[in-house]
């Protein structure tokens, strides 16, 4: 499989450290509010990546954190604590907020067929691990204690901007939003590993540490949680493109300084879902959630298809019109699958040819829009229905669009509707009219048609015979 690696800015052949177990880490949500559908675009594409890896034959262990402490309003360690902000907004405790929005996040994931990672670890579970890492970085002269906080010293690094496409200007974003800069830092890029003194005296979650009572910085959680469950050699680290800097840059700085060697080989970044007014974000007030889409009558599967129709490295623009187009595409796809009859033997050669195209799409830097085209190729293929159904069910292990179940549900619904509107008496009258016509008894045929019309029934003559419907 070829994947674009943000570290090298190239598509690279994916070669895991150990093909017996691909180790994958993904940054999880900050659980101070609902996930918006932009966040969920990132989780959908990461889900497809995990499933594609499994599909082409790699066993995968995937780990995700839940940020329930330490993430400040600006990614550059400044601004208000996001969890505290959520707790104040709803007049609840931080832990109540964390539980509520963690459950809400996984409920949304379930609706979108996003598989739960093998390990999900809340940041508050790993305080000992953070303290251990921070202590070693201090002992090794890679970190310093000043003004009550422990900072990572970026001047100890050979290279800080590892992704090569950021600079000091990017760090200033938080400052431009009206947040003060931290004057304790020796270097502008230094970041907090452990806070003890902060301007937020009402910080709800605090722990003892060798440097005083406090709480971890945001970046340290991903380094430690990843290492706790996946060791020191990570194959893939994934997240939204905004996480590349400073979050992933800082993760790399501290992890590799701690380990003394390279940590992760492939960095997979999903680009943003934007609205016509810019990036979708939780801090902008009103934002789109899965529940909101559902309340407007949208099937979450249509949103999943909407995401799959475009490549993860392109910005995707959300509009209701674009979503409506995805709904139409989804409904058409399901209606076509519903007409397939599961009869006959699967043709292995035809199946393999279809699968080759599908795998080719995944292997080309997870080209999900081509993978969607491969679904239409199945429907157009010159093979029997059993082969088509087998291919669609197989591909849906990765696409997770409920293809077969939704088609079955549609058939069932149509059969129920037909049964609900069945009426043997009307059927008998329609049959009697057909007989009268055959016998050229036009007067009787017209009489029956008029009688049915009076009862609100219209007869439709089709090549397959006369049908009727209520008008
Ligand atoms: P958060 O809950 O804010 O920590 O973000 C969760 C994930 O969503 C991270 O991987 C972010 O990079 C990603 N993300 C944030 N905004 C967007 C967006 N508009 N489109 C796609 N992904 C996003
Ligand atoms: Zn992270």
Domain for residue 457, yes or no? yes
Ligand nearest to the CA of 121: 2
Beta strand 143-146 pairing with 149-152? antiparallel
Tell me the percentage of the chain whose pLDDT exceeds 70.
93
Q: What is the mean pLDDT of residues 332-337?
A: 98
Q: How far apart, in whole angstroms, are the C-alpha atoms of residue 415 and residue 295?
A: 27
Task: Copy the structure tokens of residue 154.
Answer: 């970026």
- Measure Cα distances from 211 to 417, 420, 449 in Å: 69, 73, 92
Of 116, 114, 118, 117, which is closest to residue 401 (Cα–Cα)? 114
Q: What is the mean pLDDT of residues 371-377?
A: 98
Residue ending a domain, among 219, 252, 270, is 270
Asked if 75 and 134 sit in the same domain, the reply is yes
Mean pLDDT of the chain: 92
Domain for residue 247, yes or no? yes
| Residues in contact with 375: Cβ distance below 8 Å, sequence separation at least 6, in sequence order | 333, 392, 395, 399, 403
pLDDT interval class at 171 (50, 70, 90): low
What pLDDT does 86 receive? Answer: 86
pLDDT interval class at 327 (50, 70, 90): very high
Centroid of ligand 2 to alpha carbon of 59 (angstroms): 23
Per-residue pLDDT of 49-86, as tens digits, reads 999 999 999 999 999 999 998 777 766 676 778 888 88
Question: Tell me, what CATH number does 179's domain have?
Answer: 3.40.50.620
Residue ending a domain, among 374, 390, 416, is 416
Q: How many domains does the chain have?
A: 3
Q: Which ligand 1 atom lies nearest to the CA of residue 241? A: 12
What pLDDT does 288 receive? Answer: 94
Q: Which ligand 1 atom lies nearest to the CA of residue 239? A: 10
Any atom of ligand 1 within 6 Å of the Cβ of 30: yes
Per-residue pLDDT of 396-438, as tens digits, reads 999 999 999 999 999 999 988 888 778 889 989 999 999 999 9
Residue ending a domain, among 253, 270, 287, is 270
What pLDDT does 187 receive? Answer: 94
Any atom of ligand 1 within 6 Å of the Cβ of 68: no
- Given a contact cutoff of 8 angstroms between Cβ atoms, the answer to whether 448 and 433 are in contact is yes
Asked if 82 and 187 sit in the same domain, the reply is yes
Domain for residue 262, yes or no? yes
Asked if 430 and 329 sit in the same domain, the reply is no
Q: Which ligand 1 atom lies nearest to the CA of residue 27? A: 10
Asked if 246 and 321 sit in the same domain, the reply is no
- Measure Cα distances from 378 to 85, 103, 333, 373, 451 in Å: 50, 37, 11, 9, 48
What pLDDT does 174 receive? Answer: 41
Q: Is the pLDDT of residue 227 over 80?
A: yes
pLDDT interval class at 177 (50, 70, 90): very low
Nearest CA to ligand 1 atom 8: 39
Mutate to test the pocket of ligand 1, among 39, 247, 282 (most ligand atoms within 8 A of CB): 39
Q: Which ligand 1 atom lies nearest to the CA of residue 39? A: 8
Asked if 34 and 117 sit in the same domain, the reply is yes
pLDDT interval class at 285 (50, 70, 90): low
Domain for residue 282, yes or no? no
Q: Which ligand 1 atom lies nearest to the CA of residue 82? A: 3
Residues less than 5 Å from ion ligand 2, measured at CB = 27, 222
Expressed as residue numbers, the domain containing 448 is 422-470
Q: Is the pLDDT of residue 133 over 50?
A: yes
Domain for residue 284, yes or no? no
Asked if 122 and 213 sit in the same domain, the reply is yes
- Contacts for 426-434 with beta carbons within 8 Å, 24 or more apart? 426/452, 426/455, 426/457, 426/468, 430/459, 430/466, 430/467, 430/468, 433/459, 433/466, 434/465, 434/466
Domain for residue 147, yes or no? yes
DSSP state for residue 155 in the 8-state scheme:
G
Q: What is the mean pLDDT of residues 366-392?
A: 98
Centroid of ligand 2 to alpha carbon of 247 (angstroms): 6
Domain for residue 290, yes or no? no
Domain for residue 287, yes or no? no
Any atom of ligand 1 within 6 Å of the Cβ of 242: yes
Q: How far apart, in whole angstroms, are the C-alpha atoms of residue 69 and residue 130?
A: 12
Lowest mean pLDDT among 137-151, 207-221, 401-415, 452-466: 452-466
Asked if 138 and 247 sit in the same domain, the reply is yes
Asked if 409 and 429 sit in the same domain, the reply is no
Q: Is the pLDDT of residue 178 over 50?
A: no
Beta strand 143-146 pairing with 119-122? unpaired
- The DSSP bridge partners found for residue 466 are 461
pLDDT interval class at 88 (50, 70, 90): confident
Work out the number of other CB atoms within 10 angstroms of the CB of residue 469.
Answer: 10
Work out the number of other CB atoms within 10 angstroms of the CB of residue 461.
Answer: 11
Any atom of ligand 1 within 6 Å of the Cβ of 38: yes
Asked if 226 and 336 sit in the same domain, the reply is no
Ligand nearest to the CA of 36: 1
Q: Is the pLDDT of residue 331 over 50?
A: yes
Task: Respond yes or no on whether the N-terminal peptide bond of residue 302 is cis (omega within 30° of 0).
Answer: no
Asked if 181 and 138 sit in the same domain, the reply is yes
**CA angle 167-168-170, nearest 5°?**
75
Asked if 363 and 410 sit in the same domain, the reply is yes
- Taking every pair of Cα atoms in the chain, the longest distance, rounded to a whole number of angstroms, is 105
Asked if 368 and 436 sit in the same domain, the reply is no
What pLDDT does 80 receive? Answer: 74
């Amino acid at each position: 499989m070829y994947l674009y690696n943000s570290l090298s800015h190239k598509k690279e052949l994916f070669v895991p450290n150990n093909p017996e177990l691909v180790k994958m880490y993904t940054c999880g949500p900050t659980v101070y509010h609902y996930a918006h559908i932009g966040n969920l675009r990132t989780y959908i594409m990461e889900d497809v990546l995990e499933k594609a890896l499994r599909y082409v034959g790699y066993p995968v262990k995937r780990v995700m954190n839940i940020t329930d402490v330490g993430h400040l309003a600006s990614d550059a360690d400044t601004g208000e604590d996001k969890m505290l902000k959520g707790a104040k907004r709803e007049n609840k405790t931080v832990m109540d907020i964390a539980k509520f929005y963690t459950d809400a996040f996984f409920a949304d994931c379930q609706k979108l067929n996003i598989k739960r990672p093998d390990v999900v670890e809340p940041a508050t579970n790993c305080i000992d691990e953070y303290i251990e890492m921070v202590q070693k970085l201090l002992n090794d002269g890679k970190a310093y204690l000043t003004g009550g906080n422990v900072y990572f010293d970026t001047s100890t690094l050979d290279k800080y901007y590892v992704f090569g496409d950021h600079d000091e200007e990017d760090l200033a974003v938080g400052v431009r939003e009206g947040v003060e800069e931290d004057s304790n830092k020796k270097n502008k890029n230094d970041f907090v590993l452990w806070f003890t003194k902060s301007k937020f005296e009402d910080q709800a979650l605090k722990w003892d540490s060798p440097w005083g009572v406090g709480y971890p910085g945001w970046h340290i959680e991903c380094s430690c949680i990843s290492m706790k469950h996946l060791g020191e050699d990570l194959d893939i680290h994934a997240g939204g493109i905004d996480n590349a800097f400073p979050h992933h840059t800082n993760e790399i700085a501290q992890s590799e300084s701690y380990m003394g060697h390279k940590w992760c080989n492939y960095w997979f970044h999903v680009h943003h879902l934007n609205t016509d007014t810019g990036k979708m974000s939780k801090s902008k007030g009103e934002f789109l959630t899965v529940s909101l889409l559902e309340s407007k009558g949208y099937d979450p599967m249509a949103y999943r298809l909407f995401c799959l129709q475009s490549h993860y490295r392109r910005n995707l623009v959300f509009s209701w019109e674009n979503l409506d187009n995805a709904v139409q595409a989804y409904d058409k796809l399901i209606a076509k699958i519903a007409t397939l009859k599961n009869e006959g033997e699967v043709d292995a050669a035809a199946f393999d040819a279809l699968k080759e195209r599908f795998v080719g799409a995944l292997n080309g830097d997870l080209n999900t829009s081509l993978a969607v085209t491969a679904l239409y190729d199945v429907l157009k293929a010159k093979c029997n229905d059993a082969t088509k159904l087998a291919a669609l069910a197989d591909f849906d292990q990765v696409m997770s669009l409920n293809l077969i179940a939704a088609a079955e549900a549609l058939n069932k619904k149509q059969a129920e509707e037909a049964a609900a509107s069945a009426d043997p008496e009307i059927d008998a009258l329609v049959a009697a009219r057909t007989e009268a016509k055959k016998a050229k008894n036009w007067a009787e045929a017209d009489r029956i048609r008029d009688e049915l019309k009076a009862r609100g029934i219209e007869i439709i003559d089709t090549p397959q015979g006369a049908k009727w419907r209520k008008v």
